[in-house]
Amino acid sequence: MPAIVNRLQSPRGLAIFLLPILMAASCYYTLAQLSSHPPIQNRNVALLIAHPDDEAMFFSPTIQSLVDPSLKNTVQIICFSIGDAEGIGKIRQDELLASANLLGVPDVNNSVIVHDHPHLPDSMGKTWPEDLLASLISDSLREFKEYNGGSKVDTFITFDEGGVSAHPNHISLLRGAKYFLRHYPKEHDILLYTLNTVPIYRKYLSIFDAFITTLLEKKQGGDEEEVYSGTGAPKSAMYLSNWQGYRTAQKAMTEGHKSQMVWFRWGWITLSRYMVFNNLVLDTDRS
């Protein structure tokens, strides 16, 4: 006993003793906060992504949650390029289908649409035209409506103005979605959720950023009305994967997107918060 007391009196010993307690407390707090968030359910969802692998690198927790049969969602993916910057677009297109299948998206041959338009190049230096994106969204939704037996998409999920990595193609999707909602009046009731971009020092905190996110939300008044008026849909949604979900997200990259597994992406799939945690915000600004 004296030896234990002596160890606790040293800064290192005290840190070793307190660390498991603090980790357990943060996990308990995070799970308690997440449990109070209603999920997106009973919706026909279209995920708008820019490149094959976006769905796995950024939206895995969301996709795996939405396809849970108990939530009664349909999930479709619209990808606006084949990712042909390195001349392997056809390979990447096939990899997207493999990844979506691993993530649980049903019937990927009908529920995933990949566009290959010359004015939408895979480029860090190119902003995509909003009107063209809106036109392709409209075409895609018609296809999904036929596939869904007449049920139309009522929910979009895409990147926010930060685009996670400030990629102009990612950011263009939000603007294209808003252009579509403004200029296609029959579709004005579609809900738009965006994936929250966090500062770079939080991107690589993995699961620990879930605790930071819930803490910040509580501080900013997260106990307001959670449901968007007249829709029954949540104003925000948080999805935290368990170990199996995290490993599935990794497999979507390592087994699905084999061509993209260059050295730095191993760091991403190991440390990125987006591989294990997503928080979405309902965007009601149509400007």
HSE of 176 in the Cβ direction (CA atoms, 13 Å)? 29
What's the pLDDT at 4?
Answer: 46
- pLDDT for 168 equals 97
Whether residue 19 is contained in a domain is answered as no
DSSP character for 234? B
User: What pLDDT does 261 receive?
Assistant: 96
Which residue do the tokens 């357990």 mark? 24
Lowest mean pLDDT among 121-135, 204-218, 226-240, 242-256: 226-240
* pTM for the structure as a whole: 0.90
Asked if the structure places residue 235 within a domain, the reply is yes
Residue 10 inside a domain? The answer is: no
Domain count, the chain: 1
Q: Maximum Cα–Cα distance for the chain, whole Å?
A: 75
Beta strands 74-79 and 236-240 are unpaired
Q: Is 270 inside any structural domain? A: yes
Residues 264-280 have pLDDT tens digits of 999 999 999 999 999 99
Residue 70 lies in a domain: yes
- Residue 5, pLDDT > 60, answer no
Q: Which domain holds residue 90?
A: 41-282
**Domain with 273 in it: what CATH number?**
3.40.50.10320
Cα separation, 259 vs 261, in Å, equals 6
Label residue 281 by pLDDT band (50, 70, 90). very high
H or E element in which residue 175 lies:
helix 168-183
Lowest mean pLDDT among 52-56, 149-153, 202-206: 149-153
Where does the pLDDT of residue 92 fall: very low under 50, low under 70, confident under 90, or very high at 90 and above?
A: very high
Look at residue 144 and tell me if it is in a domain: yes
Please report the beta strands in 127-199, taking only residues with DSSP state E, as ranges in sequence order: 155-159, 191-195
Residue 248 predicted with pLDDT over 90: yes
Q: Is residue 20 part of a domain?
A: no
The answer to whether position 12 is within a domain reads no
- Are the C-beta atoms of residues 56 and 256 closer than 8 Å to each other? yes
- The interaxial angle of helices 11-35 and 208-219, nearest 10 deg, is 70
